[in-house]
Structure formats: structure tokens, C-alpha cells
């Protein structure tokens, strides 16, 4: 099963539909595993709170992240080593958490809409894909 890290922009965009929602649907249906760290989960929840999501909605989201029964909603919780300003994004060290999580979880890709992640592109063997590129790869054209 493929493993991915999803940046916060993709998570938020998935609430609106489109390709980002289809990325999250792959996870929801158990077709990919989501690599997640406590730091990324905290950022997800903070971003949802800024959008006015309720505490109940945040709790439900965290419960979904915690479920891994029968291969559905598979979350691989990882404890990455902090990359800080020494990672690939010294000017935006907050982005390094996605790279560190992907490396620790041996993810196949980071699915991103953050302009700096997308512009940077692949980081060593780690692919950085937009939601559209991810969907194309999952359809068998690249992966």
C-alpha cells in the first residue's frame, strides 16, 4: 500500500471538493496510508479551528486519523526527528515537518498545494506531487 503525507493546504482544499477531496478519499477508502506526526496533526487541527470548525468536528477528524481497523482509514503515526532550519526549507522551517514525517514513515510522496513545496519538487527520492499528479500516479500512469 502506498504511503503519503498530505500538506495542510490539501487537507483544507479537500473540504471544498475537487482533486484534493479525491486524494483524501483514497485514504478514506483504505487505498493509501496517511503518514502523520503529532506536529502535523496539531497543524491540521489549528487550521480547521481557524476556519471555524467546531470542537466536535475536530474530535471526529482525530478519531478518523486514529482508526486503522481492517485497513481502512490507515494512519501510520510516526515520530520524526526534527529537521528545523537544517531541512530542505531553511527559510520556511515549518515545511520541514512534512519532509521529516515522510522520511520517518518511508512515504512514497508528499501530496501538496503549498507553493513552496510544489515549486521545490522532489526531495531526493521523495516525490512531491500536486493532488492532480497524485491522482494520475494512482491511476497507474506513474506508479
Domain annotation for the chain: domains and CATH numbers:
2-141 (3.40.50.1010)
Query: What was the pLDDT predicted at 62?
Result: 59
**Which class for 85: exposed (0-12), middle (13-18), buried (19 or more C-beta within 10 A)?**
exposed
Query: What was the pLDDT predicted at 7?
Result: 97
Q: Quote the crossing angle between the two packed helices 96-104 and 38-50, to the nearest 10°.
A: 140
Q: How would you write the pLDDT of the chain (143 residues) with one tens digit per residue?
A: 899 999 999 998 988 889 999 999 898 888 999 999 999 988 988 888 777 655 665 566 656 655 544 445 688 889 987 655 578 898 898 999 999 999 999 999 999 999 999 999 999 999 999 999 999 999 986 66
Query: What was the pLDDT predicted at 87?
Result: 82
Q: What are the grid coordinates assigned to 73, written together?
A: 482509514
Query: What was the pLDDT predicted at 85?
Result: 56
**Which class for 59: exposed (0-12), middle (13-18), buried (19 or more C-beta within 10 A)?**
exposed
Query: What was the pLDDT predicted at 67?
Result: 57
DSSP letter (8 states) at residue 88 = S
CA angle in degrees (0–180, nearest 5) for 129-135-138: 100
Query: What was the pLDDT predicted at 30?
Result: 85
Strand intervals (E) in 2-97:
2-6, 32-36, 75-77
Q: What is the spatial distance between Cα 38 and Cα 44, in angstroms, rounded to a whole number?
A: 10
Amino acid at each position: 500500500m502506498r504511503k503519503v503525507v498530505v500538506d495542510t493546504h490539501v487537507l483544507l482544499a479537500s473540504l471544498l471538493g475537487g482533486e484534493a477531496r479525491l486524494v483524501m478519499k483514497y485514504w478514506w477508502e483504505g487505498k493509501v496510508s496517511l503518514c502523520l506526526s503529532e506536529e502535523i496533526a496539531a497543524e491540521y487541527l489549528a487550521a480547521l479551528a481557524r476556519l471555524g470548525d467546531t470542537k466536535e468536528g475536530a474530535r471526529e477528524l482525530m478519531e478518523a486519523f486514529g482508526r486503522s481497523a481492517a485497513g481502512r482509514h490507515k494512519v501510520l503515526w510516526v515520530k520524526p526527528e526534527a529537521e528545523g532550519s537544517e531541512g530542505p526549507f531553511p527559510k520556511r522551517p515549518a515545511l520541514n515537518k512534512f519532509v521529516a514525517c515522510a522520511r520517518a514513515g518511508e512515504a512514497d510522496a508528499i501530496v501538496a498545494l503549498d507553493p513552496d513545496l510544489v515549486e521545490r519538487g522532489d526531495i531526493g527520492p521523495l516525490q512531491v506531487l500536486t493532488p492532480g499528479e497524485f491522482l494520475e500516479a494512482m491511476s497507474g500512469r506513474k506508479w
